[in-house]
Amino acid sequence: MKTLEELSEKNPIVLEELKKTLSPKAYQEFLDMTKTTDISDFETKIFTAVEQVAVESSEGRALVRIKDLKGQATNYFTVPKEQAPLEPEDVAEGITVVPVKIGLDPKVISLTERWGKGVAISQDAIDDCQTDLITLSLESVGKGFAQKEDKFIFTTLFREVDVPDEDFAGNVAATTYTFAHNPSLQIIRILADAVDVTSHLSVHDMYHGKFKMDNDNSGKTLHVHYTYTTHTLVVDAATDGTLAYADVTTAFALSRNLYEKQTVIVGNPRGVSQMIIDTKFISAYEGSGKLAPVVSGEIGEFAGLRVLNTTRVIEGAALCLDPKRFVWIVTKGGMYEKTYSPANNDSHEFYFYERMGGDVVNGSAAALIVNIGAKSGPL
């Protein structure tokens, strides 16, 4: 195991770049380490920098509850699954109420995903670069992990299930095809035998799990790759292709009737763009200055819900939810480093790993709105 002194002797440029990466206080702590200090201390600082970028870049983390298992000798986390409300009984005077034994009904969330990324920074690259190469590399890795996390988190939030191939006998353009699973979410690809005809999708009715094509595929088999949702609280947009105030309030009411209260609505920029031109939104925020960050992130409130805007959301759908009660995510990260000695392969290498898992713990804490996409319509 190399010491920090050995590292500095063989690769002083790395330390110079590290000085730019760390805060003055953190870099001074780094310099104060003794000769016997393990390289693992150096790794911890690098990993922390990457992890910080990943957390700050993630859009999905704000919509779930997170449990980090780093440093723990376990690969799962147990949470109590929320149960239906306990309604009181009619009790006559003088009659003792019989207590109901409450069980935890535990929900075990395991680390089902494992991701890794290696980064090699050569000495020549460090010497030739006139910018902060190490910081840029660490930020790139951190944003990459955030992107991977978001894909997993939003798939979990939308309870999205992948169907890689479902076959339909091709017919004329007027044919309405019905999926085996609904509500459907995304039609990813449509092949007519071996020819990609996805661009010929005419209408996708997400709520009923149906679609039509605008071309003739007689005598051919349509192979469709799509996803569907297991959400039980689903709202069909009142006006197809548009997310309206009434859709949001209806979604809220579905959950509220089960004594839950959503606090956030998250949508695709196209769906959100419909909301911000609604007079109910404009009248609430006109002149308030709260429309400034309208391009991305949180942009205000709509029907009493905080509005988040992200391209991670499926174009034809929006989700109303309570982030504190709907989904739990567990995560666990790690990293190790090594330096090659041969001159022909002189590089500083970092290996980053992350494991993640997640599941719904209270299905009543979210409601899905569908058919707000450009090609959405009733079939």
- Name the band, by pLDDT with cuts 50, 70 and 90, for residue 126: low
Model confidence at 287: pLDDT above 70: no
For 197, the domain range is 160-229
Average pLDDT on 330-335 reads 80
- Any domain includes 183: yes
Q: What DSSP character marks residue 281?
A: H
Q: Which two tokens stand for residue 13?
A: 């440029």
CA distance 240 to 371: 6
Residue-level pLDDT at 300: 64
Closest listed residue to residue 62, CA positions, set 333, 243, 324: 324
- Any domain includes 223: yes
Most distant CA pair in the chain, distance = 90
Q: Number of structural domains, the chain?
A: 1
Between residues 378 and 285, the one the model is more confident about: 378
Residue-level pLDDT at 294: 40
- Any domain includes 218: yes
- Name the band, by pLDDT with cuts 50, 70 and 90, for residue 341: very low
- Any domain includes 35: no
Residue-level pLDDT at 39: 42
Q: Is 235 in contact with 369 (CB distance < 8 Å)? A: yes
Average pLDDT on 193-209 reads 93
- Any domain includes 174: yes
- Name the band, by pLDDT with cuts 50, 70 and 90, for residue 55: confident
- Any domain includes 168: yes
Closest listed residue to residue 202, CA positions, set 217, 212, 192: 212
Model confidence at 356: pLDDT above 70: yes
Strand partners, 333: 354
- Any domain includes 269: no
- Any domain includes 205: yes
Of the candidate ranges 62-76, 237-251, 332-346, 364-378, the one whose mean pLDDT is the lowest:
332-346
Q: Is 299 in contact with 317 (CB distance < 8 Å)? A: no
- Name the band, by pLDDT with cuts 50, 70 and 90, for residue 40: very low
Model confidence at 37: pLDDT above 50: no
